[in-house]
Amino acid sequence: MTGVRVRGCTVAFGGLRAIDDLTLDIPANAVTALIGPNGSGKSTFVNMVSGQIPPRGGQVLLDTDAVTGLRPDRIVHKGLARTYQVPRVPKELTIDEVISVPLLYARSDRPLPGGARSAADLARYCGLRPEVTTRCGRLSVSDLRRLEIARALACRPRVLLLDESMAGLSLEDTDQVIGLVRDIHASGVTVVVIEHVMRIIARLCSHAIVLNQGRLLAEGPPPQVLTMASVREAYLGKGFTL
Ligand SMILES: Nc1ncnc2c1ncn2[C@@H]1O[C@H](COP(=O)(O)OP(=O)(O)OP(=O)(O)O)[C@@H](O)[C@H]1O
């Protein structure tokens, strides 16, 4: 399995350092939660490691493979795929078209999870119920989130970054997506989830990284991290219980 290493990276928007000289490791053998208050830099982190916003300095590595400054499509080819907090799929395309494009262009022979071989297999694996000929404009929020995951998996990633993939889902849908993420991880993919619901993190993740103001505030097993005074103060609130 592959981990992500970030060494001394900074991303600034004008005078604001959204990521501030950050050094951290995302372990290869875990489902890691990336958490922190609103504006702490989580989405910027995902944009940085996936190449949308290159860091001003420092290095991003997939294991020992430096990907700093590479174009996003090159980073995808190196093995890192992501989803978006607000699903980004053109309304007029069908499920099949959205999944087929990365499937066609993924330059890797890594196997797809769940024994999938086609876009339809991946859609089914991710729990998409509508026909693959359905246009994206007709999909529910839950199906759009599953489609984002299916599209990312079609890139045959070694590392998958999920930006709030369970936001806005019912309890039943959330349970299904938790099962899906566990299965993806069991198939050999390193997974990072950005998530605000601590009960989900406690169930799903074996490692947690807390950002605050673009810096590393804490890291470790969730039961430990979620009870740290510094994390409660900056993020969870003093009265927080799981
Ligand atoms: N494109 C941008 N231009 C200017 N400022 C930005 C941009 N993107 C993010 N920021 C700022 O950078 C900081 C970090 O934002 P980011 O979205 O990474 O935080 P976050 O932890 O993902 O927040 P949330 O939990 O609300 O999604 C915030 O202060 C935000 O306003």
- Locate the domains of the chain by residue range: 4-236
Average pLDDT over residues 140-152: 95
CATH of 4-236, one of 3.30.70.1380, 3.40.430.10, 3.10.20.440, 3.40.50.300: 3.40.50.300
Percent helix, strand, coil in the chain (nearest 5)?
Answer: 35, 25, 40
Strand order in 207-212's β-sheet?
Answer: 80-82, 159-163, 190-194, 31-35, 207-212, 215-220
168-193: pLDDT as tens digits: 899 999 999 999 999 999 999 999 99
Alpha helices in 50-205, H assignment, sequence order: 72-78, 95-105, 119-125, 141-154, 171-186, 198-204
163 C-alpha to ligand 1 centroid (Å): 13
- Which residues are CB-contacts of 186 (< 8 A; sequence separation ≥ 6)? none
How far does residue 191's CA lie from ligand 1's centre (Å)?
A: 22
Cα-to-centroid distance, 44 and ligand 1 (Å): 6
Geometric angle at alpha carbon 186, from 32 and 136, rounded to 5°:
80
Nearest CA to ligand 1 atom 30: 39
- Residue 86's pLDDT is 85
Ligand 1, pocket-test mutation among 9, 11, 17, 40, most atoms within 8 A of CB = 40
Q: How far, in Å, CA of 59 to CA of 6, rounded?
A: 6
**Are 59 and 8 spatial neighbours (Cβ–Cβ below 8 Å)?**
yes
Q: What per-residue confidence (pLDDT) applies to 146?
A: 96
Q: For the chain, what is the mean pLDDT?
A: 92
Q: Are 36 and 197 in contact (CB under 8 A)?
A: no
- Gap from CA of 218 to ligand 1 centroid (Å): 19
> Which of 9, 20, 35, 38 most suits a substitution to test ligand 1, by most atoms within 8 Å of the C-beta?
38
pTM listed for this prediction: 0.93
Rounded (10°) CA dihedral 124, 111, 69, 15? 40
Phi, psi dihedrals of residue 199, rounded to the nearest 5°: -65, -35
